[in-house]
Amino acid sequence: MFKFKSIQKVYEIGGVRIGGAPWENPPVLMGSIFYHKHKIVKDEKNGEFDKEAAEELIKNVEELSNKTRIPAMLDVVSSSPNAIIRYLEFVSNMTKMPILIDALSIETMEASFKFVRDIGLTDRVIFNSLNAKSKDEEFKLLQEYNIKSSIFLLYTEKVIDVDVRLKNLELLLEKAKSYNIEKILVDTFVIDVPSLSAAMKTLIEIKSKYGLPCGAGAHNAISSQRKAFKERFGIDGMKACELASNLAIILLGADFLLYGPIESAKEVFPAVYTIYTSYRYLGRKKELLVEI
């Protein structure tokens, strides 16, 4: 277990604490709902969906979170301004969990930001996400609608390059100062299996140097090549690979995990609970920690 040299920042978002030493606060688990081709969605453009199925998925996450005491957030995904408002209205009434706004267009960003501002939810949401190629218009929208929390995705075409990720973070931190983004969560960017190790190394570097809360969408290591893994290992083997990729960053002290489809909660929560419970005991033995 690592003890990071820098003071580790801790943010409170919607009543959930995120960040700190690996044994201090449990990692926050973020599952996606209403994503592209999600079977509960009937009409992606207009936001029509199976409300009973969505309610069951959300309640299942709440139960797992209560049972494991691992906090949860919901990643609400849409590319449609009309749809995302319907999704956010439903989710915000269904649960008190913090919400990630995963808006896939500028128009959808603005519609969702206006909605959460008008109903008084800005302190409960995180924008997912900004990267080094994001337009100034996107940063300005966060400032205009008083969205203070955002994930910074360290996207790069050089998927196994750690240095490029770190340079992208420096650029994004400068932008954060200009646009008053106060609570920064860093997604170290996983897109395939080779990039997973680079994302893990970047996570260690950032927590050591900046103390910022870090995590990743580690499931992408497998989901981006889902067909190939399924053909090689079968569906159960593929799910095992996906769970392994999700747990890899938790083992290194990640503060949050974008674990993929909300349906994966039933495997992810118990697995993360096991690791975090073990780390809490080791955190009491400070002499056994490795400082980095």
pTM, to two decimals: 0.95
Question: What is the band of 288 on the pLDDT scale with cuts at 50, 70, 90?
Answer: low
**The pLDDT value given to residue 282:** 74
Question: For residue 238, how far is the Cα from the chain centroid?
Answer: 21
Over residues 216-271, the pLDDT tens digits come to 999 999 999 999 999 999 999 999 999 999 999 999 999 999 999 999 999 999 99
Q: Specify the number of domains making up the chain.
A: 1
In this prediction, residue 281 carries a pLDDT of 79
176 pLDDT more than 90: yes
Q: Which helix (H) or strand (E) holds 61?
A: helix 51-68
Domain that holds residue 175: 2-291
Residue 114 tokens, joined = 């206006």
Residue 63 structure tokens: 């139960």
Pairing assessment for the beta strands 41-43 and 48-49 based on DSSP bridges: antiparallel
Tell me the residue type at 31: G
The alpha-helical segments, DSSP class H, found in 130-264 are 136-144, 162-178, 193-209, 220-223, 226-251
- Comparison of pLDDT for 22 and 181, the residue scoring more: 181
Q: Which amino acid is at 104?
A: L
Which of 56-65, 191-200, 238-247, 277-286 is predicted with the least confidence, judged by mean pLDDT? 277-286
> Taking 90 as the threshold, does the pLDDT of residue 178 lie above it?
yes
- Let me know if 134 is exposed, middle or buried by CB neighbors in 10 A (0-12, 13-18, 19+): middle
Confidence of residue 291 (pLDDT cuts 50, 70, 90): low
The gap from C-alpha 212 to its chain's centroid, in whole angstroms, comes to 14
Q: What letter would DSSP give residue 279?
A: H
Q: Answer whether residue 90 shows pLDDT above 60.
A: yes
pLDDT of 133 > 90? The answer is yes
Q: Which residue's entry shows tokens 């075409």?
A: 157
Residue 4's pLDDT is what?
85
User: What's the CA gap between 118 and 228, in Å, rounded?
Assistant: 45
Q: 3-state class of 14 per DSSP?
A: coil
Type and span of the H or E element at 186: strand 183-187
Residue 167 sits in a domain of what CATH number?
3.20.20.20
| Per-residue confidence (pLDDT) for residue 5, from 0 to 100 | 83
Q: What is the pLDDT of residues 24-38, one digit of tens each?
A: 999 999 999 999 999
Rounded Cα–Cα distance for residues 255 and 18 (Å): 6
Has residue 276 got a pLDDT over 80? Answer: yes
